[in-house]
Chains A and B, each alone.
Chain A
Amino acid sequence: MFARKGIRGNEQPAGWLFVAPALIILGLFMLLPILMALWVSLTRWNGQGSPFTGDVPFAGLGNYTRLFTDEGLARQDFMTSIRNNAYYVFLVVPIQTVLALGLALIVNNRLLKGKGFFRTAFYFPSVTSSVAISVVFLFMFANGGAINAILSVFGIQGPQWFSDPRGLLHLLFERLGVSPFLTDSGLFGLSWWDWLSGPSVAMCAIISLVVWTTSGTFMVMFLAALQNVPVQLEEAGRIDGANRWQLLRHVILPQLRPTTFLVITLGLIGTWQVFDQIYVMSQGNPAKTTLTPAFLSYRTAFRDFDYGSGAAISFVLFLIIVLLTLLQRRLTRERDS
């Protein structure tokens, strides 16, 4: 497209001048670093000197194959982190979606007053600092903390949340008297028994924190969508004799479908990025049951000084998230067209 001259004048220089500051910063601190990290992920750089000299040992795809095909600690840790994050996603996404929808439906009820207050109350946690709020939850989930105090009211002795590595499914099997099975065979260096651990008790504490902080944001999205549901539709349903449940199931939920899709995909994208809470609350402990790919990549690079492997983990995670983002954009486009 050529710039047209005339009454608008020549906007070519002005255009580039206006985008220049943002372009330079984004190029220098987003695009360039990604290319640099792509190179580093092919090396065994240990943090000494510059990674862009001939002295740095070249690893080829070694850092990537170690995550998938080579037997060893690197693959075991990576697969453990994938397992942990998968359980985290399986719990956080459905719970926060249902909770957000439920809260939105109740807050939106025309018969109830104080809508503004409740909306504020539910939304506030999501604007606070993830680090600050992790400190609060660390205190609440402490051994003699608030959560265990509440549980003891109901006669339940709470676990030592952040030092309990037992998986929920393993606990369930134990309760049912099932002894460990499939411990000999497995996939990617983890036995099937290990894959089937379920989220650990410690991970459940982090899950509850994340659900608590994000539900409010998604509730606001659902509220906005609910306000766009035509009142006539609801009235028509009511005249046809639909009860409240049928109205929700057959009139309101279909109208909310696009928003629900959006909330679920945004949830899927966000949950693969969990980092701050892990860093503050557990650092991947106990027994690596709260290790996630994001934290593992950080730890591998900045604690073990294996920047190549850390960058490789980042790119695998990048791929997972990009695929989910493409899925989300496709769904949004289908909705719009």
Chain B
Amino acid sequence: MIRTLASRFLGYAILIFFALVFLYPFVIQIANSFKTESNAADNPLSPIPSPVVTDSLVRIFEGTGFPTWLGNSVLVTVVVTIGRVLFASMAGYALSRLRFRGRKALFAGLLALMAVPPVVLLIPKFLVLNQLGMYNSYSGLIVPLLADATGIFVMKQFFDSVPVSVEEAARIDGAGAFRMFWSVVLPMAKPALITLTILSFTGSWNEFPHTLVSVQDPGLFTLPRGLADLVSGSLGAGTQYPLKLGAALLATIPVAIIFVIFQRYFVRDAAAGADKG
């Protein structure tokens, strides 16, 4: 009995210690966003700003390109998410259900593409955007992100796991392939679509390397690119940590909200990763 109590106490102690390790950096980030620069430099650990100031938040909106980056990030994220969900579910459905010549080869190609590490695509992507005249434009920023191999794979796996009987019934009613996809298949695929939407949203909202090789005009920066630019010293004098932390905080909030609301889907993604390997 005492041993159980002791081990339970130890278990909680370890959990709380690690919860602090994993969450306190966010506390520091929030607190220091509301500190004066000297206060942040003197008491970086303190969770309570004294005095509480909103100067840096005001300056984020008035003295940096933040509003532009925010607008670009919203645009990129919305278009990319819609595109990825639509194209991935169409392709995943076709690869799983429709019988056409070349399907197996396409799937093998898809598996091969999934193994391509994004970071080695930096120079290649720049080359193709440059060649097509899409470098430094919204289309260069958005179009290459509209389809991703992993999303197609997730949708194909999903359709593989669903029995065909519903579609068979619709087929006898004489529905065409696209109408059936739109009004029978997609509504049925809701759980997979939610997972894919979340995956695409966080992926495109946080995307950084692609913006590095597709645009150079500050008017086309998204939030991660703008933040990276702030850090590398576009601010001029001083370290200005409250401002940088505040900007990073604002960039984190949308993903944090989505995470809290749809947490079980995130967990499922990671667990699915364990299965698919």
Nearest B-chain residue to A308, judged by Cβ:
B123
A135/B101 contact (C-beta < 8 A), A11-B177, A221-B273 known: no
Question: Size range of the interface on A?
Answer: 35 or more
Contact A129 B205 (CB under 8 A): yes
Q: Inside 8 A of B172's CB, which chain A residues have their CB?
A: 7
A36 B127 Cβ-Cβ under 8 A: yes
Name the segment of B57-65, B89-97, B189-197 touching the other chain.
B89-97
Give A149 to B23 CA distance when docked, in angstroms: 18
12 sampled A-B residue pairs with Cβ under 8 A: A18-B91, A22-B147, A30-B149, A33-B128, A37-B127, A52-B131, A109-B11, A125-B22, A128-B252, A132-B252, A212-B25, A220-B271
| A4 nearest CB across to chain B (Å) | 7
Tell me the complex Cα distance, A146–B25, Å.
9
Question: Does B161 lie at the interface of the complex (its beta carbon under 8 Å from any beta carbon of A)?
Answer: no
The binding surface of chain A is classed by DSSP as helix
- Kindly state whether residue A186 has any CB partner on chain B within 8 Å: no
- Please state if A220 and B267 are interface contacts (CB–CB under 8 Å): yes
A22 to B255, CA, bound (A): 26
Name A14-65 residues within 8 Å CB distance of B: 14-19, 21-23, 25-26, 28-34, 36-37, 40, 50-52
Nearest to A318 among chain B residues (CB) is B120
Given known pairs A3-B100, A16-B100, A111-B4, the reply for A221 and B270 (CB within 8 Å) is yes
Contact of B252 among A129, A276, A335 (CB under 8 A): A129
- In the complex, whether B239 has a CB less than 8 A from a CB of chain A is yes
Q: Within 8 Å CB of A114, what residues of B? A: 15
Q: In whole angstroms, how far apart are the Cα atoms of A294 and B213 in the complex?
A: 13
Main secondary structure of the interface of B (DSSP, over half): helix
Q: How far is the CA of A301 from the CA of B4 in the complex (A)?
A: 60
Q: Are B146 and A131 in contact (CB under 8 A)?
A: no
Residue from the list B86, B113, B177, B248 in contact with A30, Cβ < 8 A: B113
Q: Given the known inter-chain contacts A30-B113, A31-B113, A138-B231, please indicate yes or no for A36 contacting B128, CB distance below 8 A.
A: yes
* Contact (A19, B44) CB under 8 Å given A122-B18, A128-B206: no
Q: Which of A3, A14, A118, A325 contacts B115 (CB 8 A)?
A: A325
The reply to whether the CB of A317 lies closer than 8 angstroms to some CB of chain B is: yes
**CA–CA, A149 to B213, complex, Å?**
38
**Chain A residues with CB below 8 A from B266, complex form:** 123, 127
Structural contact, B98 and A140, CB atoms closer than 8 A: no
Contact: B15 with A273, CB < 8 Å?
Answer: no
Question: For window 309-327 of chain A, which residues contact chain B by CB distance below 8 Å?
Answer: 310-311, 314-315, 317-318, 321-322, 325-326
Tell me the minimal C-beta distance from A306 to chain B in angstroms. 11
A280 at the interface (CB under 8 A from B): yes
CA of A302 to CA of B101, assembled, Å: 42
Chain A contacts for B45, CB-based, 8 A? 146, 149-150
Mask, B81-108, CB within 8 Å of A = 1, is 0000011101101110011111110100
Task: Tell me the minimal C-beta distance from A222 to chain B in angstroms.
Answer: 8
Residue pair A140, B255 in contact (C-beta under 8 Å)? no
User: Is B184 close to A, CB under 8 A?
Assistant: no
Contacts of B138 in A (CB 8 A): none
Q: A269 to B118: give the CA distance in the assembly, Å.
A: 11
Once A16-B100, A118-B15, A146-B28 are accepted as A-B contacts, the answer to whether A37 and B123 lie under 8 Å apart by CB is yes
CB–CB B99/A8 < 8 A: yes
Chain B residues with Cβ below 8 Å from A26 are: 113, 147, 149
Q: Does A2 contact B (CB under 8 A)?
A: yes
B125 touches which of A2, A13, A33, A259 (Cβ 8 Å): A33
